[in-house]
Amino acid sequence: MADRNFQKKKRNDVRRKRRPVLIFTGEDKNNTEKQYFLSFQEQHGKYSIQFVNTGFDTDPRGMLKSMESAWKRYELSAKNGDKAYIVLDMDCNPRKVKLVKELEVL
């Protein structure tokens, strides 16, 4: 039988660029905030939106720790356009305002 010269198909190895990930966390069950931020994904579609469950960590420091662990778990990177946000009610609480200002320095 004659030897056929078949060429291997060259596949395009360029991968599709993933959408930037926005992760949010908030106090309590944050259903209102969740609906609000999911509307960005529906309207624009250029972000993948995730929500971090903080469990019982509803103080700003605990929420930051939960957010940092989620950032590592999802292997996110600011270079890829990924961002993280903590949504909380300040309620004119001086103690909470002071704590948030301290955490901003970190």
**Predicted pLDDT at 45:** 76
pLDDT at 65 over 60: yes
Judge contact between 48 and 41, C-beta under 8 A: yes
**Predicted pLDDT at 7:** 63
Judge contact between 86 and 51, C-beta under 8 A: no
User: What are the residue ranges spanned by the domains of the chain?
Assistant: 21-105
pLDDT at 28 over 90: no
Which of these ranges, 15-19, 64-68, 75-79, has the smallest mean pLDDT? 15-19
Structure tokens at 43: 């309207």
**If you average pLDDT over each of 46-50, 60-64, 79-83, 92-96, which comes out highest?**
79-83
pLDDT at 13 over 80: no
Tally of CB atoms within 10 A around 82: 20
Kindly report the pTM of this predicted structure: 0.70
Per DSSP (E only), the strands in 1-106 are 21-26, 48-51, 83-87
Q: How far apart are CA 60 and CA 9, in angstroms?
A: 54
